[in-house]
Amino acid sequence: MPLQGEVRISGAKNAVLPILCATLLADGPVSIGNVPHLHDVVTTIKLLTGLGATVTHDVEACRVAVDPRTVQSHVAPYELVRTMRASVLVLGPLLARHGAAEVSLPGGCAIGSRPVDLHIAALEALGAEIVVEHGFIKARADRLRGGRVAFDMVSVGATENVLMAATLAEGTTVVENAAREPEIVDLADCLVAMGADIEGAGTSRIVVNGVDRLHGGAHEVIADRIETGTFLVAAAMTGGRVVATHARPDTLRAVLAKLAESGAGVDVDGDRITVDMRGRRPRAVDITTEPHPGFPTDMQAQFMALNCIAEGSGAIDERIFENRFMHVNELLRLGAQIEIDGHRAVVTGVERLTGAPVMATDLRASASLILAGLVAEGETVIDRIYHLDRGYEHIEQKLSLLGASIRRIG
Ligand SMILES: CC(=O)N[C@H]1[C@@H](OP(=O)(O)OP(=O)(O)OC[C@H]2O[C@@H](n3ccc(=O)[nH]c3=O)[C@H](O)[C@@H]2O)O[C@H](CO)[C@@H](O)[C@@H]1O
Ligand SMILES: C=C(OP(=O)(O)O)C(=O)O
């Protein structure tokens, strides 16, 4: 069934999580708007509350207010960190503001081993003393000092941790080979609204002049580019026409270019993006995941689903995570033709997928199974959808409004 209509894009998961952690740096209340209602947001609020912060969450208004002045603890426990790796982003703020932090090691997850060595080395470059023992990262510093941090690989999370810590360090910090993701820019915008002095966010060289205090403030979270991309791929796969509203097209250039290459009509008008694939079958596209502004790894699984039903074959190279092909075996159960060779998957499009029970293994894998299920003949039942609730707000409702036959069971 071709999807038709408009879908309102929510605030970005990968922006709101670091921003909520950044509120710990302030000495007054911070109000965050356009907050999506996601399981990861709830987990982060639990983490902040556990540290002693006073948090109010107005779900209807998509707003979270954090008063960090009541923080008493500097320990992020294993029970929360293991369910959400982004919890490690409290490390920099706690250390910079309270001089100490103990954060459980996040460990690996379905998409790879995901170490935090770069986070630790960057904070050490600002003068922190860090030991890893009993499964915790234990960090101390009377006051961090500005320094030069040159990453030898691009890391979104490590860039965020050091950026937050540097705002309250004494002197200037220069971050080289910084991640350039739009969520880094959004975090920097929020920090600046709280009184930080930051230049270059969104480029690979960020300069932070430390200040003595950050005050409270207000910030609106940017639109979720991965949610946007997921709905636009759904439009293309079903041969439909969907308008994503309240979106940020400038953050999606690589994704929109691939949709156009697959044969979709792509139109951008302010914060609205239209993808039109009516009456056509998509053509398979080659994808190589890269740090921003390259093609995002968080859209890899969704384009794999698109290639599964496209004309021709497309190669998908995953260059960011070591093990991000967990969705392949599930897509094969729906009749897809995919061959894996190391970090590369070659997908040959088939005329038709057939519905089957499948299992979600991680967040974007779950999204790819929904997309495949939308076009598969018959019923597809996806198990373990709690992964989906980490990062998509009301996905089944939004898809239903576009005409999809989808429902949550259990
Ligand atoms: C909450 C959030 O924003 N998550 C995003 C963030 O994850 P996250 O911040 O965890 O991803 P990174 O950019 O840090 O990871 C990139 C690569 O660097 C490696 N690495 C990272 C840190 C480190 O200390 N050592 C190390 O080796 C990772 O294992 C991975 O292979 O960026 C990823 C890459 O765009 C996205 O897929 C995630 O959705
Ligand atoms: C991998 C993702 O998130 P996280 O880093 O929170 O696991 C994602 O958003 O696709």
Nearest CA to ligand 1 atom 9: 157
pLDDT at 109 over 90: no
Annotated catalytic residue 308: no
Say yes or no: CB of residue 176 within 6 Å of ligand 1: no
Task: Choose among 285, 372, 375: nearest CA to 327.
Answer: 372
Mutate to test the pocket of ligand 1, among 17, 113, 114 (most ligand atoms within 8 A of CB): 114
| Ligand 2 pocket at CB < 6 A | 14, 85-86, 298, 363-364, 391
245 pLDDT band, cuts 50/70/90, is: very high
Q: How close are the terminal C-alpha atoms of the chain, in Å?
A: 25
pLDDT in tens, 131-154: 999 999 999 999 999 999 999 999
What separation in Å is there between the alpha carbon of 156 and the centre of ligand 1? 6
| Residues 349-363 pLDDT 10s | 999 999 999 999 999
pLDDT in tens, 78-102: 999 999 999 999 999 999 999 999 9
Mean pLDDT across the stretch 317-330?
Answer: 96
Could you give the 3-state DSSP secondary structure of residue 132? strand
pLDDT greater than 90 at residue 173: yes
Phi, psi of 222 (to 5 degrees): -70, 165
Collect all residues with Cβ–Cβ distance below 8 Å to 86 and sequence separation of at least 6.
14, 17, 18, 21, 40, 44, 157
Q: Please indicate whether residue 21, judged by its CB atom, sits closer than 6 Å to ligand 1.
A: no
**Does ligand 1 have an atom closer than 6 angstroms to the CB of 17?**
yes
ipTM given for this complex: 0.99
Which residue ranges are tagged as binding site for UDP-N-acetyl-alpha-D-glucosamine? 85, 114-118, 298, 320
Higher pLDDT, 108 or 333: 333
Span 208-212, mean pLDDT? Answer: 98
Q: In ligand 1, which atom is closest to the CA atom of 40?
A: 1
Which pLDDT score, from 0 to 100, does residue 188 have? 99
112 pLDDT band, cuts 50/70/90, is confident
Query: Given this model, what pLDDT does residue 107 score?
Result: 75
Continuous H helices in 221-311? 225-237, 253-261, 300-308
pLDDT at position 108 over 80 = no
